[in-house]
Structure formats: structure tokens, C-alpha cells
Amino acid sequence: MTYDLILGDYAYSSWSLRGWLLFEKFGLPRQTRMVNFKLGSVPDQMPDWAPAKTVPALRTPEGAILSDSLAIAEELATRHPDAGLWPTDPKSRATARNLTAEMHSGFTALRSDCPMNVRLAYTNMQPSDAVMADLRRLELIWDHARNTCLPDGPWLCGAYSVADAFFAPVAARIAGYGLAVTPAAQAYVAAHLADPAFRRWRAMGLVHGETLNRYAKPYTTGPWPGPMPRPAHPVDTGTPENTVCPYSGKPITHLLETEGRTFGFCNAFCRDKTVADPDAWPAFTTIFNA
């Protein structure tokens, strides 16, 4: 059972990040297509997806089209009950569903004033009162979830769930705009920044597509607050340790070097996303550690 998934720009599309995480974190098969925010109207780029007019959108194997992220989450959970999209414990599941619904419909000030941009991190934003109110609300509901569900790990309701996928772009906003939150909330943000799936999304956002100035803000920029990637850079020549691309199995055409070692990939994007964060990609770390 394979789904067709259409997404927006990796660097800027917060709802696309949520949709992608629903597949990436729970091991669900999909074929992915991207729209280009640089080219203008999203609906015009996906005429065969009507009535969908936003991203992410999903086409099921039977041909049903879902164009709402919460509907996508619920449909996937129904079709894949053993994948773990929602907690199995009834109390935790109810809490996670409520969190997800509030994220889906709320926090408009944070969304408006702090559009997701994984290419930049700002250091001197002065949040409005409305953004501050959104942050205090996030602290409250995140604390409530953890006190209610008593998770062993960093996620809100136990194991990683739909709720965490929906709050991943919120974590990117809090980190990317240097917004002050409580230590408990900051620890939750840090868990997202360190999550390998989030790191893979950000790596793709750094190298795929053009910079869109309409997402930039007039603030001082600084280093991204997440984990520091292993240094790597593209090279034109060298003898790679691997014989085929670790992602596609296709012949090697592009090279990178890291720690004095050379590895090969089948195209520039495979190489560049790995250069951006080598340790985020299990297929690459397998050959690196072999």
C-alpha cells in the first residue's frame, strides 16, 4: 500500500513538515512530489489533485484525496493501527488528540509573526504580546500533557505521536526566532531539533529550492541552535568508499568528503542533503560506520 504525497518547500512549509513526519516517523510508504513556492499559486501546480488546494495533500491507493493535515493523520491512524500514530493508552491518546486539535486551529499570532524558516535563526526578535500569549499557552498545555501522561522520554504523551509531529514546526519557530520559554518547554524544543527525522527535513530545506525573501525578517541572524552537523563538503574528484548511492542504489556521479574520507551519490541532491547533516541519514551512516 503506497500513498502519493504532495508537499511544499522544505525550508518554509510548516504544514508540509507535519505531513511528511506522519510518514517518516511511522515508516509508512509514500511517493513524494513537491510544488515550488517560487512559481506562485499552489493550486495551479496541482490541477490533478482537485479539490485539494493546499499542501500537504494525500492521495490514497483507492484514489481518495485528503487535503487537511489532521484528516491525513486520522486516516493514516485508522489504516495503520499498529504503526503507533496515537498512543495506545486511552488517557494519553485523548490528551494527544486534544493537543493536536488545538495546534491545528490555534496559535495564529505565532504562525503569523514567526513563519517557519529552517534556513535562518534570529537572535533579537521582540515578540508581540499576542506571540507571548501563544508561548505561555504552549508551556501550559505541554506541561499538562507531560503531567497527565507521565512519559519516560522527551515526547508529550509517551512515544512520539501525531501530537509531536504537529508541534515540530512550533519547535522550529521557537528555536529559529530565539523565543524565550520555560526550561521544560525548551527541553521539548531541543528534542525536536535533535530528532534525526527533523534534521533530515532541515537538511533538505537547506539545499533544495531557492531562498524566498518573503519569509525573511529584519532581525539579526545567528547560528542554528540545533546539533552541530559533522563537517562535510562536496568534492569533484576522489575515489569513493561506496560503489552505489546509499539512497537509490544507482551509479555514483557526485562526491562528498568528510573526515578525510570520500563517498559517492547518484545526484547533486543526494550529495548535498548529506553534506548538510551527514549523521541525520541512516543509509549514509551505515556505510560511514561500516
> Would you place residue 40 in the very low, low, confident or very high pLDDT band (cuts 50, 70, 90)?
confident
Start-to-end Cα distance in the chain: 32
pLDDT tens digits along 135-174: 999 999 999 999 999 999 999 999 999 999 999 999 999 9
What pTM was computed for the model?
A: 0.97
> Would you place residue 85 in the very low, low, confident or very high pLDDT band (cuts 50, 70, 90)?
very high
Residue 249, judged by CB atoms within 10 A of its CB (0-12, 13-18, 19+), counts as exposed
284 to 31, 206, 248, 265: CA distances (angstroms): 21, 18, 11, 10
Distance CA 68, CA 188 (A): 25
Q: Say if residues 241 and 268 touch (Cβ distance below 8 Å).
A: no
> Would you place residue 2 in the very low, low, confident or very high pLDDT band (cuts 50, 70, 90)?
confident
pLDDT tens digits along 248-259: 999 999 999 999
R_g of the chain computed on alpha carbons: 19
The pLDDT score that the predictor gives to residue 87 is 98
113 to 107, 110, 128, 140, 215: CA distances (angstroms): 10, 5, 8, 21, 10
Go through the domains of the chain in sequence order and give each one's CATH number: 3-79 (3.40.30.10), 90-200 (1.20.1050.10), 233-289 (no CATH)
Distance CA 269, CA 246 (A): 13
Statement: residue 46 has pLDDT above 80: yes
Residue 78, judged by CB atoms within 10 A of its CB (0-12, 13-18, 19+), counts as exposed
Q: 3-state class of 158 per DSSP?
A: coil
